[in-house]
Amino acid sequence: MTTRPFRQVDVFTDQPYFGNPLAVVLDAEGLSDAQMQRFAQWTNLSETTFVLPATEPGADYRVRIFTPGGELPFAGHPTLGTCHAWLEAGGKPRDASTVVQQSAVGLVRIRRDGAQLAFAAPPLRRSAPSPSTLAQVASALGLKAQQIVRAQVLDNGPVWFTLLLDDAQTVLRLDPDHLMVKALGHKIGVAALTQDEAPALIARSSREARAFAASATRPAAAPALVVRAFAACAGVPEDPVTGSLNASLAQWLLADALLPAPYTASQGACLGRDGLVRIARDDSGQVWVGGDCVTCIAGTVNL
């Protein structure tokens, strides 16, 4: 076994122990796939990451991301948390304003704005779910058909079967059958506009209403969206705060003019967390997903 630098960080929060924890092994050279997977099972966190030297031109480092149940090609909170840990441990990016992280989906840009980090959402593939699968997912979540406003299968590396529901309270009151969710084999995301944003659904067919909504301003931390994520098939019954899901949700909702950018999404309340995900879109149309990170444990691990 080798002594390796280690961090455990909390992502999408500025208060320790109120976000989504991430374990980061900062020097994973020499570890096998089986060793990485075993350690990820042992940490029992939604994700554990392993930092390796970059193998693609332009990347500052390479990361591998594991859940207790397997490896992921991309995930949002591990992207921000690993970057935070790498910088804190003395990592020096080629560009002071942007870190380039190599993962299985390719190169992911992470921009730095002081202590704030935000990653560029990977390209999104989306499709309509089959009616039979939608009915099965609704049953597993205990939802009635009239509570589902829209549904999409969203794929930006991880694939999320995603539902937009009628009300934030509907989202917060969900009590899924996690065994049924696991048997379905889908990671499921649910979201609803908060009360202040709900009229956007009614006005979505009006060009003038959309133009007005896009010009509206709101406090940076006022949540416009409430989100939950269920991933029993990956060994995580409910994820506290989910960057990949929020990234794909943002690309969907912004493209369909259901929300203006920038906005803030809240996630984790049902688990006693207070995660905030900040969504922005630049002039090129690129969606950026950001949030705070704090280090909770710094030291070494024998692995």
* pLDDT one-digit tens code per residue, 85-128: 999 999 999 999 999 999 999 999 999 987 789 999 999 999 99
Which tokens belong to 132? 């039979």
User: How buried is 220 (Cβ within 10 angstroms: 0-12 exposed, 13-18 middle, 19+ buried)?
Assistant: exposed
| CATH 3.10.310.10 for domain 3-121+291-302 | yes
pLDDT recorded at residue 113? 85
∠ Cα 75 159 167 (to 5°) = 95
Q: Residue 2 has what DSSP assignment?
A: -
Answer whether residue 169 shows pLDDT above 80: yes
Partner residues linked to 63 by β-bridges: 51
Burial (Cβ within 10 Å: 0-12, 13-18, ≥19) of residue 190: buried
Query: Would the pTM of this model clear 0.85, i.e. be above it?
Result: yes
CATH topology identical between 3-121+291-302 and 126-283: yes
How is residue 81 written in tokens?
Answer: 């948390």
Quick: pLDDT tens for 202-261: 333 333 333 333 333 334 457 999 999 999 998 889 999 999 999 999 999 999 999 999
The structure tokens listed for 203 are 């006005």
> How confident is the model over 5-13, as a mean pLDDT?
98
The mean pLDDT of 175-187, rounded to a whole number, is: 97
Q: What is the pLDDT of residue 115?
A: 78
Q: Decide: 12 and 276 in contact? Cβ < 8 Å.
A: yes
56 an active-site residue? no
| Structure token digits, residue 177 | 């059958």
Task: Report, as an integer, the average pLDDT of 192-208.
Answer: 52
Euclidean distance between CA atoms 137 and 143, whole angstroms:
8
Q: What is d(CA 156, CA 20) in angstroms, rounded to the nearest whole number?
A: 20
How many residues appear in the chain?
303
- pLDDT greater than 60 at residue 286: yes
Confidence of residue 66 (pLDDT cuts 50, 70, 90): very high
Question: Binning pLDDT at 50, 70 and 90, where does residue 165 land?
Answer: very high
Pairwise CA distance, residues 45 & 25, whole Å: 13
Residues 233, 220: Cα–Cα separation, whole Å? 34
Considering the candidates 29, 47, 88, 238, report the single residue annotated as catalytic: 47
- Hey, how many other C-beta atoms are within 10 angstroms of the C-beta on 219? 7
pLDDT at 222: 76
Topology at the third CATH level for domain 126-283: Diaminopimelate Epimerase; Chain A, domain 1 (3.10.310)
> Mean pLDDT for the chain?
91
The CA distances from residue 275 to 95, 154, 173, 192, 227, in Å, are 29, 21, 18, 16, 10
In this prediction, residues 184-210 reach a mean pLDDT of 64
Sorted by where each begins, the domain ranges of the chain are 3-121+291-302, 126-283
